[in-house]
Every structure is written in structure tokens, then in C-alpha cells.
């Protein structure tokens, strides 16, 4: 099992981030056997497909090259231009074969799923100059795999070529008895068969090497569990830091909520466990809004702030519990609680008027009717 520098086993598959960083650094799965087979095989197929036109073009080019214009003998300065013309004509003749081979060079990266360019791979790596690293690569498992692959290459290519030669010996022996043109056609046909068999052997070797190279690449990128945990911390943040941030956010939210309590019109309480602060402005609000809410310690703090700022505190246990469960901070109260809250606000407004001396008698708050648990058994709820 592969290990890292700390001796921990690399048992986990590489993460998406590790794979992305490897590709950005130019660390990609490569199969030289697949690249060789693709270019060589495409070249052989293109050579056989364009053989007649290629031979005709080469014949014309050779005729032009061997029978130059005699006027060039009296104008040496034109020889350079003549040579350039011959080179361009030869390139034009070879263009189909070169173009097919060039396109075939993209087959291997596409088949390996790594057709990408990385400028980092062009940077010099001075670590490769370390003799100890060179010795490790020479005698390591990678060198043994390359040795086995080389032996397999010799066996496959040699075997394919040997079988082709063995089956074509009769054809080769008959060539001396043939005319020049017929012998040339026979030789070209036999050469084509030999090239095809060699290309087939290289393709078989590539079919073995490409999956191995992909597997070996993924094996080298495997991670330890500690590396996965460290990466998760870098991506998601340290849990302790995130917890501290959440705590600070909660404290900030509580501070803002307590600052909104003095602006409330009424605090509906349980009377001890729940406290919900409501505010209503008929000119700008469609319905009363929850500006603060809390239970136990937070409820106690809400009541303390309300006492200091002379905000009315009304005890309505079922309504307080319903508002706490169903109301949302900064949102309007649920529609089903409109009537009960309206009764509370009416009582508060009458109380203000009585304190200001504009009402003849102290108001009385009747029973606040509210369905605390609509559609459920009321005895199943929290009755603190």
C-alpha cells in the first residue's frame, strides 16, 4: 500500500481539488505507447490510402529534382530559389501524410481524458537533478514496469513482424522472377502488410499500457485520511473558527434584538418562560411585527429591558407560546393570531390613555382566546 512521508497509508481516492491541482501543474496521465500507436497507425493507414497519389507526386518531384533547367548552370544565384521551390513541392506532396499524423497526435490525450495545456509543466524542475532521486527512479517499481513494458513491446512487435515475414517468404522468393514494375508492386504490398501488422502489435500494447498508466496516475494521487481532513478544513474552514464566528453572529443578533425592545409597543409573556416583543405602526405596517423573541434567560433579559424603558408587559401564556413558535424575528405575525394580538394592543392603547389621564377608568384585559395548537391535541404541547 502506498505511503506518504509520515508513513500513513494512502487509502483514499483523490479529491476533486487534488485532481484539479494535478492537472494545473501538468501532472496528467500519459501513455507513450498509445501516442506511438496512434501516430504510427494513422500514418500507415494514410500511406496506404494515399499511396498511388503519393507515389505519383513523388515521381514528378524526383523528375523535377533530377532534371533541372540548364539555364541554372549559367545563373548560380537562382539555385537557392530553385532549392526552396523543390522543398515546398516535396512538402506539398507529403502534406496529407503529415496532416493525418499530426491530427493523430491528439488521439492519445483525448483517449486519456487529459487534453489540456499547463504552463507550469514547462518550468524547470531542479529536483530531477538530484542523483538520489535518479537512482530511486532507476531501481524503483516504475523502472521495473518500464522494463516489463519494453520486453512486451519487443515480443509483440517482433512476433507480428516475424509472422508476417514467415507467411510472406514465398512472395519474397518470387520477386526476382518478376518484372521491375511487378516486383515493385509486390514489394510495396508486402511492406504495407508488414507495417499494418506492426501497427496492430503497437495498438495491442497501447490497449494494455493506457489503462495501466491511468490507474498508476490515480494511485500516486491517492490521499491519506489526514490529508482529506486537512483539505476539508481548508475548504470549509476550521470548525473551531466557524463555531466562534457563529457565536459572534448570535451575540450580534441578540444585541440588535435587545436594542429593538425599547421601540416595541408590548411584550407578551408566559409570564416567565417566554417573551415576545411586538411593534405596530398603522401608517407603515400591515400587521404587528415581531422585533424580539426569546425563552428562559433571553426572555428574562427582554423583560428587564422592557421594564427599564417602561414598555407594557402583558401576560397571555397561550398567545406568548404561539407567537414564539410561529412568529419570525423581523416578520409580521401569523394571520391566525391577528385577533388575539389586536385585543392585546387595544388593551395597551387604553392603558396608555388611562396613564395619560385621558381615559376615565383603568382598562381590564379579558381572556385572550387563541388556539395554541391548531389541528392537534392541545394537551400535547409545551405548557410552561
Q: Which residue has the cell 379579558?
A: 366
For the cut 70, the answer to whether the pLDDT of residue 199 exceeds it is yes
Instruction: Give the mean pLDDT of 181-186.
Output: 80
Instruction: Give the mean pLDDT of 288-315.
Output: 89
Q: What does the DSSP 8-state code read for residue 336?
A: G
Residues facing 242 on adjacent strands: none
pTM assigned to the model: 0.51
* Amino acid 381: pLDDT: 45
Q: Which three cell numbers stand for residue 7?
A: 508513513
For the cut 70, the answer to whether the pLDDT of residue 8 exceeds it is no
- Residue 9 near residue 224 (C-beta atoms within 8 A): yes
Instruction: Give the mean pLDDT of 5-33.
Output: 78
Q: Each residue of 253-263: pLDDT tens digit?
A: 788 888 888 88
Cα–Cα distance for residue pair 323/269, rounded to 1 Å: 10
| Residues in the chain, total | 384
Half-sphere exposure of 325 (CA within 13 A, CB side): 15
Least-confidence region, from 68-72, 129-133, 173-177, 372-376: 129-133
* Amino acid 133: pLDDT: 60
Q: Each residue of 341-352: pLDDT tens digit?
A: 888 888 888 888
* Amino acid 4: pLDDT: 52
pLDDT above 90 covers what percent of the chain?
3
Q: Each residue of 107-159: pLDDT tens digit?
A: 888 887 766 665 655 566 655 566 666 566 666 677 788 888 889 989 998 99
Q: Which three cell numbers stand for residue 266?
A: 408590548
* Amino acid 155: pLDDT: 92
* Amino acid 129: pLDDT: 60
* Amino acid 140: pLDDT: 63
> Measured in whole angstroms, how far is the alpha carbon of residue 314 from the centre of its chain?
57
Q: Each residue of 56-88: pLDDT tens digit?
A: 888 888 877 777 777 766 777 777 777 888 888
Phi and psi for 375 in degrees, rounded to 5?
Answer: 80, 5
For the cut 70, the answer to whether the pLDDT of residue 329 exceeds it is yes
Cα–Cα distance for residue pair 195/275, rounded to 1 Å: 90
Instruction: Give the mean pLDDT of 4-27.
Output: 75
Cα–Cα distance for residue pair 12/232, rounded to 1 Å: 14
* Amino acid 107: pLDDT: 81
Amino acid at each position: 500500500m502506498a505511503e506518504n512521508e509520515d508513513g500513513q497509508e494512502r487509502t483514499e481516492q483523490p479529491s476533486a481539488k487534488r485532481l484539479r491541482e494535478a492537472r494545473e501543474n501538468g501532472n496528467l496521465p500519459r501513455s507513450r505507447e498509445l501516442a506511438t500507436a496512434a501516430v504510427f497507425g494513422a500514418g500507415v493507414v494514410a500511406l496506404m490510402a494515399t499511396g498511388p497519389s503519393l507515389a505519383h507526386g513523388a515521381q514528378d518531384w524526383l523528375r523535377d529534382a533530377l532534371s533541372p533547367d540548364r539555364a541554372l548552370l549559367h545563373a548560380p544565384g537562382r539555385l537557392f530559389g530553385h532549392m526552396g521551390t523543390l522543398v515546398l513541392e516535396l512538402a506539398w506532396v507529403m502534406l496529407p501524410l503529415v496532416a493525418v499524423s499530426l491530427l493523430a497526435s491528439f488521439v492519445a490525450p483525448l483517449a486519456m481524458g487529459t487534453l489540456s495545456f499547463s504552463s507550469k509543466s514547462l518550468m524547470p524542475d531542479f529536483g530531477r537533478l538530484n542523483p538520489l532521486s535518479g537512482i530511486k527512479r532507476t531501481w524503483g517499481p516504475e523502472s521495473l514496469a518500464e522494463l516489463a513494458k519494453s520486453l512486451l513491446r519487443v515480443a509483440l512487435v517482433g512476433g507480428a513482424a516475424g509472422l508476417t515475414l514467415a507467411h510472406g517468404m514465398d512472395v519474397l522468393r518470387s520477386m526476382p522472377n518478376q518484372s521491375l514494375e511487378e516486383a515493385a508492386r509486390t514489394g510495396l504490398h508486402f511492406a504495407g502488410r508488414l507495417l499494418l501488422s506492426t501497427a496492430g502489435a503497437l495498438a495491442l500494447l497501447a490497449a494494455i499500457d493506457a489503462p495501466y498508466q491511468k490507474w498508476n496516475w490515480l494511485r500516486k494521487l491517492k490521499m491519506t485520511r489526514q490529508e482529506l481532513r486537512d483539505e476539508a478544513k481548508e475548504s470549509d474552514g476550521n470548525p473551531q473558527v466557524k463555531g466562534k464566528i457563529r457565536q459572534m453572529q448570535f451575540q450580534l443578533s441578540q444585541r440588535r434584538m435587545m436594542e429593538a425592545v425599547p421601540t416595541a409597543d408590548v411584550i407578551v409573556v408566559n409570564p416567565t418562560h417566554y417573551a415576545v416583543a411586538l411593534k405596530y405602526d398603522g401608517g407603515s405596517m400591515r400587521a404587528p411585527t415581531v422585533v424580539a423573541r426569546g425563552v428562559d434567560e433571553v426572555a428574562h433579559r427582554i423583560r428587564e429591558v422592557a421594564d427599564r424603558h417602561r414598555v407594557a408587559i402583558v401576560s397571555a401564556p397561550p398567545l406568548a407560546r404561539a407567537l414564539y413558535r410561529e412568529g419570525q424575528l423581523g416578520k409580521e405575525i401569523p394571520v391566525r393570531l391577528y385577533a388575539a394580538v389586536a385585543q392585546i394592543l387595544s388593551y395597551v392603547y387604553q392603558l396608555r390613555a388611562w396613564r395619560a389621564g385621558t381615559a376615565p377608568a383603568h382598562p381590564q384585559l379579558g381572556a385572550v382566546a387563541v388556539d395554541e395548537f391548531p389541528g392537534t391535541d392541545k394537551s400535547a404541547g409545551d405548557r410552561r
